[in-house]
Amino acid sequence: MSDISEQYLNDVMSNVATALEIKQWSFSKASFKSVAQNYFGLIIPTVLRGKVNEKNVRFSIVLKLAPTDERYRVSGAVTVMFAREIFVYSKLLNKYQEIQKNYPLSCCYVIPKCYYVNLDYCKEVVAMQNMCEEGYKPYVNSMFLDLPHITLALKSLAKFHALSFILEERASEVFEEAKKCCIPLTEKSNKRYINILTDRLIKALEKFENTPYIALLETLKQKCVQFIEMAVNSVRNLCLCHGDMWKENLLFQYEDSKPVSACIIDYQTTRICSPAFDVLYLIVSSTTTVLRKDYFKRLLDIYYQTFDDTLSQSNLNSNDIYSEEMFQHDLQIVSPACLIVANTAVWLSSGLQQEGHVRSKIILRTDEEKMEAVRNYTNIIANIIDDLTNYGYLEIVS
């Protein structure tokens, strides 16, 4: 997907400069060797300089570019993802910013500025504020978040969910538009992804052969569509959820080496769903079983208290909208779907997906590396299954 020419990049930056009304502009970027690549496009950091009203200005910008090669667009999934993310950055988050304008700064959801978007096919672009300039950076110390980081992540997620409910109450026309763009995950809306989830369950059955987990994984495979759709059809309430809420889609700001703020990124999978799905998926995909054993209930309390506090900022009562009892009910309903999606994510992040358009970033070259990757994958998934079972969340599977 790294087929972005210098001319194409220059044209994009010209459009960004025009949108920001910058004259006599120039830009610099990282070399292509250090350009970050995600699974569905390119991410390129740039610095744009020039003049506005004869004053020198400087903007640190991250470009998110869709693949320009149509070979990556055959399924249509990338087109839908970029349309969704462009809507979120250019309209939804701007509306959330308006809602928050009278909030105390400590209560606000962190939102990068959006400078420019383009929805043209094979030319999709989002140009947004580079949050690294504000001190935000990914957590790279471990494959999993520690307690201070997961606490901030859950607080940020709670604010994101609360803003959806506030939007529905205060700007219903925008919420209705969002519902049309950010449709739920069902077999009808994204059969290809459902097929991928099922395929990874088949692969899980191979890796877990002759273990106590086979019966549960077989049921998940057979009823994959049912469990995924229950996260929408069988829950007490719905809102705009992130859809892929895990460690890799979070940035953290630090003071004295301690995390003090979190910024959620990558809204390509934003969709109508149960808030409980985002919460449970974040916890099981981004924390260790040791941390969950000690802090699981506390993490749920942190999320819900922040959710309640954010609604209160807009004079809304969480008991009328999404009570703690409703939240606890939905955690049990969405648990199988969280496990199914986590299985696919852990398979990918462990390096086990070596073919197809979406491949693991880790390249496994030796048999020893492959065996270690399988051990890592099976340990993580087994721990998630054991923990969800202990919470009583997988009774619905049997």
Residue 243's pLDDT is: 97
Q: Is the predicted pLDDT of residue 163 greater than 70, yes or no?
A: yes
Q: Is the predicted pLDDT of residue 385 greater than 90, yes or no?
A: yes
pTM: predicted TM-score of the whole model, two decimal places: 0.95
Question: What b/e string do you get for 155-180 counting C-beta neighbours within 10 Å, with b at 16 or more?
Answer: bbbbbbbbbbbbbbeebeebbeebee
- Nearest 5°: phi and psi at 136? -90, 140
Residues 52 and 23 sit within 8 Å (Cβ to Cβ): yes
Helix (H, G, I), strand (E, B) or coil at 250: strand
Q: What is the set of domains in the chain, with CATH numbers?
A: 1-129 (3.30.200), 144-398 (3.90.1200)
Stronger pLDDT, 386 or 352, i.e. the higher one: 386
Length of the chain: 398
In 157-255, which ranges are E strands? 239-241, 250-255
Residue 289's pLDDT is: 98
Residue range 279-314, pLDDT digits in tens: 999 999 999 999 999 999 999 999 999 999 999 999
Residue 354's pLDDT is: 72
- Please give the average per-residue pLDDT across 20-44, as a whole number: 73
Q: Is the predicted pLDDT of residue 353 greater than 80, yes or no?
A: no
192-196, 210-214, 356-360, 381-385: least confidently modelled range: 356-360
Model confidence at 36, pLDDT cuts 50, 70, 90, reads: very low
Residue 122's pLDDT is: 85
The Cα 229–Cα 341 span in angstroms is: 12
Residue 220's pLDDT is: 98
Residue 58's pLDDT is: 96
CA distances from 215 to 196, 200, 212, 229, 382 (A): 20, 16, 7, 21, 13
